[in-house]
Amino acid sequence: MAIASQEVSPARFSAQLRSHALQTGIMDLILDRGLDVGDALPTESELSAELGVGRNTVRESLKVLQALGVIEIRHGFGMFVAPNNFSALVSGLTFRGRLSLRHKGEEAMELIDVRQALESGLIGLAIDLLTDEHVADLRATMEAMEDAAKKGEPLHEHDAEFHRRLYAPLNNELLINLMDVFWQVYRKIHLAIGTGPVNLEQQTQDHWDIFEAVANKDKALASERLQRHFDGIRLKLKEVAAA
């Protein structure tokens, strides 16, 4: 399974296409050999030989695949087919947000909007599938958050957990990961634009309100309260953009 286009007329294909072909070549190799998550890939040298390109070149593609969450690279050990994760997306999107903060913060606002749209748009579907067990899990998370708030500890871990469990009924790991990405980007933007003194009690209460609406299966109210959840940062973003 070689990059067939190389033998014929390399010049006809743009460099970008060749680079992309190498990446898909490696992915095809994984699929052709029936490698599964956790299985080891050939070594860099072997790949270099089999694909007929230099080791540096294959390394560039491997780094890209690593960034895309396709493979996992372990120094001194080998390379393996990775379980999916979107972590790479976070840095790219955060960069976008920071970049846009310099003019009008439009993209940062869009990032917030995406998270808001995802959360308030999908909560209805989640409520449809909500079981008592899910509600119990949510309550447990909220109690942990309340404990932390009383001790003056930071809430972000509990916050993340709450939002993850909110959409657990959808039973879709991929979607949870995706929403987690936007949670993280949200948080980074929040940190970047600087926050005033955080009111732990208020923050906890906001989440209790959301929990209550969800537990009562009131889709409209839950959706509205989730929207509210983002009003604060939107205001601050506008201030920063105006300045």
Partner DNA sequence: ATCTAGACATTGGACGTCCCATCTCCTGTA
Partner DNA sequence: TACAGGAGATGGGACGTCCAATGTCTAGAT
Which residues form the interface with DNA (CB under 7 A)? 9-16, 18-19, 41, 43-45, 48, 52-57, 59-60, 62, 73-79
With CB under 5 to 8 Å by kind, the binding choice for 45 among its own copies, DNA, none is: DNA
- Nearest-angstrom CA–CA distance, 122 and 168: 11
With CB under 5 to 8 Å by kind, the binding choice for 220 among DNA, its own copies, none is: none
Beta bridge partners of 73: 79
Query: H or E stretch including 24?
Result: helix 15-32
Quick check: 91 binds its own copies (CB under 8 A)? Answer: yes
Stretch that binds its own copies, among 118-126, 199-207, 208-216, 228-236 (CB under 8 A): 118-126
| Interacting residue with its own copies among 96, 139, 190, 228 (CB under 8 A) | 96
Quick check: 2 binds its own copies (CB under 8 A)? Answer: yes
How many helices and strands in the chain, by DSSP H and E?
12, 2
Residues 6+ apart with CB under 8 A from 67: 88
From the list 176, 192, 180, the residue with the least C-alpha distance to 107 is 192
With CB under 5 to 8 Å by kind, the binding choice for 110 among DNA, its own copies, none is: its own copies
Shortest Å distance, C-beta 89 to DNA: 20
- Give how far Cα 158 sits from Cα of 47, 142, 154, 192, Å: 43, 8, 9, 21
Quick check: 203 binds its own copies (CB under 8 A)? Answer: no
Beta bridge partners of 80: 40, 72
Q: Which is nearer to DNA, 25 or 97 (CB)?
A: 25
Quick check: 44 binds its own copies (CB under 8 A)? Answer: no
